[in-house]
Amino acid sequence: MRVSLELKDLAKYPFLKESQQFIGASTDTLEQFLSGASGRIAVRHAMERIRISLRMGDRDGSSERIPSDSIDVKLSISGYVLARIIISCATDRALMERLVRYEAERAYTYLLDEDDEKRRYVAASVGLEMGTASLPVVQYVETVAGLHEERWRLINRDVAQGRVTVSPQEMNELLKEQIRVILLRQLPLRVPDKVCSMLELQVGEIRTAYQKTILEQFGAVEEDLFPPCIQALATALTAGTNLPHSGRFALTAFLHNIGMGPAQIIELYCRAPDFDISKTQYQVEHISGRSGTEYTAPSCAAMRTYGLCIKSDGICTKVNHPLNYYRLKKRKEGKKEPTSPSD
């Protein structure tokens, strides 16, 4: 499929091969590029991209000025590439997920305004066939694997002759998801140690900013506000029950996601009678993403599959993820706080 791409399209969709080719002609090594004036500006672009991804309230991409001259387009694409390099040096899965979510959301915002031909071209570049009102079952299942809303479940879809019917709006949402999945699959990039050393300052700054974002989002850890499933796991742990791997994973990932550091999580595991410091430390760090392992706490649907969704209450009917339960309950509690004794 051939489509005519303008210069600004390369900045809008920096993951296209055409965008990569556009900046790929330089004879400088990455180290030389980073040491030069353009490299320093591109690093600034990259850092801004990462910062936006950390505080993303969705759709931030729409307010961005799209560059249209050759130099600015090059800097913008270089910023995209360097952001991925910096995040790879940070070796934190959570940061990678944030960045790709931002990139997918940003591209999606632009894609909504494109004609069908260009949208189909971008979709094809990430392996999504967008020409019809349906997708082959296998592709559909793969694409929705990370989407937890009930409407995406195959059981709730119209399937005919091996294809799942998808509305135009849903197709756009699937395109966004496909971009996210493909970009995440490419991370972490293999970055030479020397390059990571040159970006040490930026990596440190991003780690600190992320920690701050988590604390702002979730505030201080309040065990009383944990969803019933997580409370049950924590109680079982304290009571000396041997938690299955899925239970340990769900508990650890949840605690990590709400901003508990490895030391605090290990402290919780100390309550278990079979506590083994080195084993626990390894597991906690592994789940916290140090080794590039999936870190996100399981959704309610996954918790149900593992048999870990227990004692669900009224708030559970409004959420599809234990983290959303915690967020919602915190918000409710926060609203109660300022009330006076007379209220």
Q: Which residues bind ligand SF4 (CB under 6 A)?
A: 227-229, 300, 303, 309, 312, 316, 319, 322, 325
Q: How many beta carbons lie within 10 A of that of residue 217, not counting itself?
A: 15
On whether the CB atoms of residues 167 and 175 are closer than 8 A, the answer is no
Which of 22/254 has CB closer to ligand SF4? 254
Least distance from C-beta 282 to ligand SF4, angstroms?
Answer: 26
- Which two three-digit tokens encode residue 142? 């793969």
Q: How many beta carbons lie within 10 A of that of residue 250, not counting itself?
A: 24
Least distance from C-beta 328 to ligand SF4, angstroms?
Answer: 10
Q: How many beta carbons lie within 10 A of that of residue 77, not counting itself?
A: 24
Q: What is the spatial distance between Cα 130 and Cα 291, in angstroms, rounded to a whole number?
A: 35
- Which two three-digit tokens encode residue 323? 């983290």
Least distance from C-beta 304 to ligand SF4, angstroms?
Answer: 7
Least distance from C-beta 306 to ligand SF4, angstroms?
Answer: 9
Q: What is the spatial distance between Cα 57 and Cα 335, in angstroms, rounded to a whole number?
A: 21
- Which two three-digit tokens encode residue 93? 């899965």
Least distance from C-beta 74 to ligand SF4, angstroms?
Answer: 46
Per the DSSP assignment, residues forming a β-bridge with 165 are 134
Per the DSSP assignment, residues forming a β-bridge with 135 are 164
Q: What is the spatial distance between Cα 255 and Cα 333, in angstroms, rounded to a whole number?
A: 19
Q: What is the spatial distance between Cα 165 and Cα 168, in angstroms, rounded to a whole number?
A: 10
Which of 277/310 has CB closer to ligand SF4? 310
Q: What is the spatial distance between Cα 152 and Cα 161, in angstroms, rounded to a whole number?
A: 18
Which of 184/328 has CB closer to ligand SF4? 328
Which of 174/308 has CB closer to ligand SF4? 308
Which of 14/298 has CB closer to ligand SF4? 298
Which of 192/307 has CB closer to ligand SF4? 307
Least distance from C-beta 310 to ligand SF4, angstroms?
Answer: 6
